[in-house]
Amino acid sequence: MYQTILTHTELGICTITMNRPEKMNALNKELIQELGAALDVAKMDTSVQAVILTGAGEKAFVAGADITEFTELQSAGGKALASVGAALVFDKIEQFPKPIIAAVNGFALGGGCELAMACDYRIASTKAVFGQPEILLGIIPGGGATVRLPRIVGRGWAMEMMLMGEPISAEQALQIGLVTCVTETDNLMTELERRAAHLATFAPFVPQFMKLMVHKGMEG
Ligand code: COA
């Protein structure tokens, strides 16, 4: 059914896998549309109690927005692209009424790091690499890093990551609180499934309201 993602639902957990490994799972328009649609399905499916987001292949979670779609964009087009991404994916994930955990298995750059940050929390394999390299392309992050990154890691690290554009390792991401756990690659999905299975044992409204209250609190 989908061309750019895979979905699998079992034991109350829906795993959505970004599936363009030959392009480092970069977020093109089609993937953004399909991810938005898959989230809508998971939202309506009462058997789903938690969602895991991950990337196909051994190298990338998501290496950012698809740069090849940038070449023709002027400022209005860039703004429209960011708005669509927010509505279909980033804000939808943040406001999603069920917990969503990112399993970061490789490069999480630009929109990929932003996608992981929209999730409730992130766990990473030792191979994961995080970064906001937009400045190196002469643009600013358009998928929420300017808001979510300082909230997660504090203003200093957020500014350093966005101003320098340099990637950080999984271990550094753990030190600054961008991820909560780093595990060997072979163990990543087992670790995620253990956490998601834990969530699936509770009445759905418990994590749902906990998430809502945390977000309301963060908004002040
Ligand atoms: N958009 C579109 N295509 C991308 C991409 C992106 N963000 N990131 C990687 N790809 C593509 C490459 O163009 C290449 O395609 P090709 O084989 O048809 O030439 C393929 O994915 C593999 O990437 P490659 O660069 O050969 O792999 P690598 O292991 O040498 O490097 C990265 C991996 C992630 C470090 C490198 O691809 C990269 O820096 N990508 C851009 C990251 C970025 O700036 N993201 C923010 C965008 S706002």
What is residue 165's predicted lDDT score, i.e. its pLDDT?
A: 98
What is the pLDDT confidence band of residue 83, given thresholds at 50, 70 and 90? confident
pTM here is: 0.96
User: Which helix (H) or strand (E) is 157 found in, with range?
Assistant: helix 155-164
Integer Cα distance of 57 and 102 in angstroms: 15
Q: Which of 134, 166, 193, 219 is catalytic?
A: 134
Report the mean per-residue pLDDT for the chain.
94
Sheet holding 181-183, edge to edge: 5-10, 13-18, 50-55, 100-104, 121-125, 181-183
Ligand 1: residue of 4, 18, 22, 24 to mutate (most ligand atoms within 8 A of CB) is 24
Strands 5-10 and 13-18: antiparallel
Q: Which of 22, 72, 94, 114 is catalytic?
A: 114
160 an active-site residue? no
Cα of 38 vs centre of ligand 1, distance in Å, is 25
Q: Which two tokens stand for residue 108?
A: 């999480």
Integer Cα distance of 220 and 119 in angstroms: 19
134 an active-site residue? yes
Q: Which two tokens stand for residue 171?
A: 């271990």
Name the residue at shortest CA distance from atom 22 of ligand 1: 23
Integer Cα distance of 193 and 95 in angstroms: 22
Integer Cα distance of 181 and 159 in angstroms: 23
Cβ count near 119 (within 10 Å): 21
Over residues 97-142, the pLDDT tens digits come to 999 999 999 999 999 999 999 999 999 999 999 999 999 999 999 9
Integer Cα distance of 148 and 91 in angstroms: 11
What is residue 7's predicted lDDT score, i.e. its pLDDT?
A: 98
Q: Which two tokens stand for residue 69?
A: 């779609």
Cα of 131 vs centre of ligand 1, distance in Å, is 13
Over residues 16-60, the pLDDT tens digits come to 999 999 999 999 999 999 999 999 999 999 999 999 999 999 999
pLDDT at residue 72 above 90?
no
What is the DSSP-derived secondary structure letter of residue 134?
A: G
Cα of 138 vs centre of ligand 1, distance in Å, is 17
Which ligand 1 atom sits closest to the C-alpha of 60?
A: 34
